[in-house]
Structure 1
Amino acid sequence: MTIKNTLTATQQRTQFYMTYSGNKPNRSVKESRLKQLEVDLLQQNIFMDELFPQKQYLVLEQIAFWLSANGLCKVGTDTLEEKLGVSVRTVRNAIKALKSTNQFVVGRLQSTKTNCGKYIIVDKKHENFKSIMKEVFLLSEVSITQLNAQQKILKDLDMSTFEQENKSPNLYLSLSNSKQAI
Structure 2
Amino acid sequence: MSAKPAKRRTPRPASEPLTAGAPLNETTARLAVAAAPVEPPSPRVKAELLARIRASAPAPVQPGWRYESAREESGWHGGVFPGVRFKTLSVDEARDVVSVMIEIAPGARFPDHLHDAGPDEGVVISGDVVNGGRLMHAGDYYYAAEGTAHVNTVSPHGCTALVTLTARAWKKWREAMASR
Which structure has more helix as a fraction of its residues? Answer: 1
TM-score range, shorter chain: under 0.3
In the superposition, the TM-score normalised over structure 2's length comes to 0.21
User: Between Structure 1 and Structure 2, whose CA radius of gyration is higher?
Assistant: 2
Higher strand proportion (structure 1 or 2): 2
**Bigger relative contact order, structure 1 or 2 (CA pairs below 8 A, ≥6 apart):** 1
